[in-house]
Amino acid sequence: MLGLNKKDTRFLLIVIALTLLTPILLQPFPEGSSLAQFNAGYPDLMQRFAIFGIFAIGFNILFGLTGYLSFGHAAFLGVGSYTVVWMYKLLDYNVIYGLPLAIITSGLFALLIGFVSLRRSGIYFSILTLAFAQMSYNLAYSVLTPITNGETGLQVYTDDVQILMGANEPQSPHFFGIVMRENFWVADIGAWEFTFNNGYYFCAVIAIAAFYLSLRIFRSPFGLMLRAIKSNQQRLNYTGLNARPYTLAAFVISGMYAGLAGGLLAAMDPLAGAERMQWTASGEVVLMTILGGLGTMMGPVLGAGFIKYFENIFSKINEQVLHGWFGWLPDGLEGFVIWVAEHFVGSGWHLTSGLLFMLVVIFLPGGLVEGGQKIAALFKRGKSDEDIDDPEHQPKQSPHVAE
């Protein structure tokens, strides 16, 4: 189906099912219960899962497949956001104009940066991309203030042109009248509440398309060439093949993914700020890719979800929530437990995520995907078909060359 073999088609269908059922899967605990704090099925967070999943998928094409570590991908994320907000200001709030332009603009910017940065490899390439990203951040923060609105951030004002704005058109980002921030269904089933949001499913459909495209890239001759570059670029050069066009193409494609993610951030919230271009945002996508599983298809998506979950769920566990959890303890013991827990949640959530990241890197070098594979292996029962058919392990006759 769609140019994929049977195994990849089944894999894609599973990804589609999980993506569409996310509002249900991320809401496992009843509303009002003490564990409802860990529910993640609300629109803003689900949208971030999808958006940063796209960001990580694109980065994985460059880092995981090609082996080039970039610390400057946040620049393309910011360019995509600025482009979409400018389309709001000039045309109207329909996202159909800004998103394609965000992909194109980010691709051209990536072509410029990649053309220079890819003259070097290894750590020198990484430093060059970091330098370009920081220059972009400083330009957006101060020098290009008429375009980016500096530290305040670019946003839409009532006196903006918006030449295509209709009298009855929504005053927030929409897709031909389908408003991103609105819910099309809120289902109350017993003690559970499931929210189905327009913006999430808009991002989800685009994320599925982005995942499918990356799957085709991984399985294509172009993807095979990128794997060869990662394996041994010097040996590849000895064969007479010039690897630079392939690496530049991978860099541009990865930048376009980042621009799309940045555009979707502005599609959910019509605001673009220079903070999206900081080096910390570039480092975050590196962590997402490594944590999920470098070079795997599903790994970057899992890593993005893992980090965004901790950022949004654990950071909201404050002292009041902790008192609700441990209020049954004696006063002295309760105070001590809460004092210890405060270092790992709330503003200290980075400590928890850092410790978990260390554990994954040490014990699961292949990331969360490797962990899933190990768990699946534990549930495998019985022997292989070969062992069942041949319990005495008799050697088999080698087939003739012509067979």
Cβ contacts of 298 within 8 Å, gap of 6 or more: 15, 292, 369
**Quick check: 17 and 24 in contact, CB under 8 A?**
no
Per-residue pLDDT band for 1 (boundaries 50, 70, 90) equals low
- Pick the closest to residue 26 from 196, 180, 206 (CA basis): 196
Mean pLDDT over the full length of the chain = 88
Per-residue pLDDT band for 400 (boundaries 50, 70, 90) equals very low
In this predicted structure, what is the pLDDT of residue 32?
Answer: 80
The percent of residues above 90 in pLDDT, for the chain, comes to 54
E strand or H helix that includes residue 288: helix 279-292
In this predicted structure, what is the pLDDT of residue 396?
Answer: 52
pLDDT tens by residue, 123-171: 999 999 999 999 999 999 988 999 999 888 999 998 899 999 888 889 9
pLDDT tens by residue, 152-162: 899 999 889 99
Residue 255 to residue 114: CA distance in whole angstroms = 9
pLDDT tens by residue, 330-356: 888 888 888 888 888 887 888 888 888
Question: Looking at the predicted structure, is the pLDDT value of residue 402 above 60?
Answer: no
In this predicted structure, what is the pLDDT of residue 384?
Answer: 52
Residue 356 to residue 374: CA distance in whole angstroms = 17
Residue type for position 65: L
The contacts found for 144-152 with CB under 8 angstroms, 24 or more apart, are 147/82, 148/82, 148/272, 148/274, 150/274, 151/273, 151/274, 152/273
Residue type for position 22: T
pLDDT tens by residue, 38-74: 888 889 999 999 999 999 999 999 999 999 999 999 9
In this predicted structure, what is the pLDDT of residue 235?
Answer: 85
Cβ contacts of 301 within 8 Å, gap of 6 or more: 53, 56, 57, 211, 292
- Pick the closest to residue 274 from 160, 369, 141, 159 (CA basis): 141
pTM, to two decimals: 0.90
Look at 11-15, 227-231, 277-281 and tell me which has the smallest mean pLDDT.
277-281
Question: Looking at the predicted structure, is the pLDDT value of residue 16 above 90?
Answer: yes
Question: Looking at the predicted structure, is the pLDDT value of residue 379 above 90?
Answer: no
pLDDT tens by residue, 178-236: 999 999 999 998 889 999 999 999 999 999 999 999 999 999 999 999 999 998 888 88
Question: Looking at the predicted structure, is the pLDDT value of residue 385 above 70?
Answer: no
Question: Looking at the predicted structure, is the pLDDT value of residue 88 above 50?
Answer: yes
Question: What totals of helices (H) and strands (E) does the chain contain, helices first?
Answer: 17, 6
- Pick the closest to residue 250 from 276, 218, 280 (CA basis): 218
Cβ contacts of 90 within 8 Å, gap of 6 or more: 160, 161, 162, 163
